[in-house]
Chain A
Amino acid sequence: MTTKQEWLEQTYSRGKERPTRFTTLSDMPVDPLYTPEDVKNNFARDIGYPGEYPYTRGVYESMYRGRLWTMRQFAGFGLAEETNARFHFLLAQGQDGLSTAFDMPTLMGYDADSERAMGEVGREGVSVSSAQDMARLFDRIPLDKVSTSMTVNCSASVLLAAYLVVAERQGVPWEAVSGTIQNDMLKEFIAQKEWICPPAPSLRIVTDMVEFCAKKAPRFHAVSISGYHIREAGSTAVQELAFTIADGLCYVQDAVARGMNVDDFAPRLSFFWDLHNDFLEEIAKLRAGRRMWARFMKERFGAKNPRSLMLRTHAQTAGVSLTAQQPMNNVVRVAIQALAGVLGGVQSLHTNSMDETLALPTEQAVMVALRTQQIIAEETGVTNTIDPFGGSYAIEALTDKMEAEALEYIRKIDEMGGMLKAIDRGYPQLEIAEAAFNYQRQLEQGIKTVVGVNKYSVPEEIPIETLKINHELEERQIQRVRKLKRERNSVAVKEALKRVAEACRSGENLMDPICEAVRRDATVGEISDIYRAEFGVYKDPGWV
């Protein structure tokens, strides 16, 4: 029997190779061929069956034959009423979960009437300053029937409280509310850069929320450990894998250090991956991530509940891969990225709209994006069999290789004393900046191709109609917040805010006092101001 090396030397070398660099998008070298020699793993130990440890092939036993993934399109703009209308539109189109995009002031813990909100109210997402706004956002949407994802981090504690208060007002008990709040502060310092206070108190607030949800809103995922933003900031796929798993380990460590039993909260941890252009690399990443998480949870934390070992994940196609040039090409990119996600076994998926590099997506573009998922689910047949790429020499070899490289990063981070310490040193930040710069240079040198941008470009006018945000909205929202602040019981609000401040100091779980403050119409900005006063404000070290 010919060995791979012999085949390479005797046969492959007779052929021709195009003068190109055969590496993944992340510049990981790829062999011309993979054979059983490249797959050192053991089927029972490393691959196994879906729904069984180490979950390489999928977290659920029947995967998409049992239930398709949740099609969850991210939406939000303007005032709460407009996003509410978009939500109703998406539900009518067959979408089965909601996903809320908040505007920058809300995400950063400022009310619409703050000076820091100037020009940004309702622009990139919906403006929510109070429980009243949250009630408008979910008007006529029963919170016990629809699961909601909220993409918010440093002000997440307040938004979760507002959501729970809206549920109360709908007569829905907290135990019946399901959804996910992103609330992954570590990746904020690493990549997305939305923060209020420094990393250590930020982590404490996350852990408060993990503890609170485990006890009082058990169907809510208190944190969605996110690689998405790490990748979008320019990391490689291996860095995305490594830093995300390392973030997850840090959250688990912190909750366990507080005395929580790992199996009491780990089943509600969820993940969020990016789906980029390199098809095989993405499938391998998703598979490697599941195996790594299962092993860490079992071996490092002694988790016993199988649900604690399962890496359940949302995924979104890569916003950064979309081009303003020839934007119709984005439909194709999104379809291929989404297909990788499905072949990689995700539980929930957002497909980007073709016009997103230009502005917030139009209704027509959102519909094509959702239809892309429906076509994959119901026309392509890829959902008929589980983990169809399992056992492919190439996929298994790439899965092993990415796992090994990611474990090496995690070893380094452990050596530094964990992710909080690594962030203080700027380690993941600088690794990502380096990778982003290298990729940009490869693009400019034509080593990597972006169709329609650095190759096959044509002179063009960008033809897509983009959604325009009405500037009067900002003024209306500012007036609304001011009115709320005038008309509420200010003594009751003051008292409640004082209790939040006391909890910041005493170390008591923050969530009950925050829920009470929000019930009394304290705002996102006011509670965030307590954080600023009690914990200090983090300043960007500007690692370049």
Chain B
Amino acid sequence: MADKRLRILVAKPGLDGHDRGAKIIARALRDGGFEVIYTGLHQTPEMIAEAAVQEDVDAIGLSILSGAHMTLFPEVMRLLKEKGLDDVAIFGGGIIPDEDSAKLKAAGVKEIFTPGASTEDIVKWVHENVHPRD
């Protein structure tokens, strides 16, 4: 595990341009020793799933501040499954009410970070909970 650097896709689905969080997380994960691929904004679930295949990632962090999390998370997960990538860890962050967060976790999202989560906590969580896929 120590010899392979984990590859993390930081993805920004949806139409909104709130990328401050995604960019900070991308930088923090990079500083934390991971290989980070940042998709840029306005990604569709298809584009994200495709990037996950192309980049052979171990985890995907979705940053969603538009309120569309209940549509976007399940759609990304459905597409990943279709492509045989259901072992990629999915986590996310954004303005996500507790009630929705619980539903998403029950549906297989590994963790949801809400405003106020520190980059340190997120980096630590990835170290502890994301494992190489092979």
Contacts and interface: CB of A to CB of B under 8 A. Distances in A.
B88 to A, nearest CB: 20
Given A120-B68, A123-B66, A544-B38, A357 B115 contact: yes
B19 A358 contact: no
Interface in B9-64: 14-20, 23-24, 26-28, 30, 38-42, 44
Contacts of A116: 15, 44
A453 B115 CA distance: 10
A503 interface: no
B84 interface: no
Interface in B76-134: 95, 97-98, 114-116, 118-120
B20 A104 contact: no
Contacts of A234: 20, 24
A359 B95 contact: yes
A193 interface: yes
Interface stretch (A8-16, A105-113, A483-491): A105-113
A492 interface: no
Contact of A542 (B16, B39, B71, B98): B39
B119 A444 contact: yes
A120 B23 contact: no
Interface stretch (A39-47, A388-396, A432-440): A432-440
Nearest to A194: B17
A444 B120 contact: yes
B14 A104 contact: yes
Contacts, number: 97
B116 A540 contact: no
B15 A108 contact: yes
Contact of A192 (B17, B23, B115): B17
A110 B16 CA distance: 12
A104 B71 contact: no
A352 B21 CA distance: 20
A119 B116 contact: no
Contacts of A358: 95, 97
Contacts of B115: 323-324, 357
A440 B117 CA distance: 11
Contact of A119 (B27, B30, B38, B70): B70
A78 to B, nearest CB: 12
Contacts of A359: 67, 95, 97
Nearest to A457: B116
Contacts of B18: 193
Contacts of A542: 38-41
Given A357-B95, A436-B23, A541 B40 contact: yes
B16 A104 contact: yes
A325 B44 CA distance: 31
A358 to B, nearest CB: 7
A104 B14 CA distance: 9
A107 B27 contact: no
Contacts of B15: 104-105, 107-108, 110, 116-117, 120, 194
B4 to A, nearest CB: 22
Given A108-B15, A359-B67, A444-B119, A462 B98 contact: yes
24 contacts: A104-B14, A108-B15, A117-B15, A119-B70, A119-B72, A120-B66, A120-B67, A120-B68, A123-B68, A124-B67, A192-B17, A193-B41, A232-B20, A233-B20, A234-B24, A324-B114, A358-B97, A433-B27, A437-B24, A440-B28, A440-B119, A441-B119, A544-B23, A544-B26
Given A117-B15, A194-B16, 19 more contacts: A104-B66, A107-B15, A108-B15, A116-B44, A119-B71, A119-B72, A193-B18, A323-B116, A324-B116, A433-B27, A440-B24, A440-B28, A444-B119, A444-B120, A540-B40, A540-B41, A540-B42, A541-B40, A542-B41
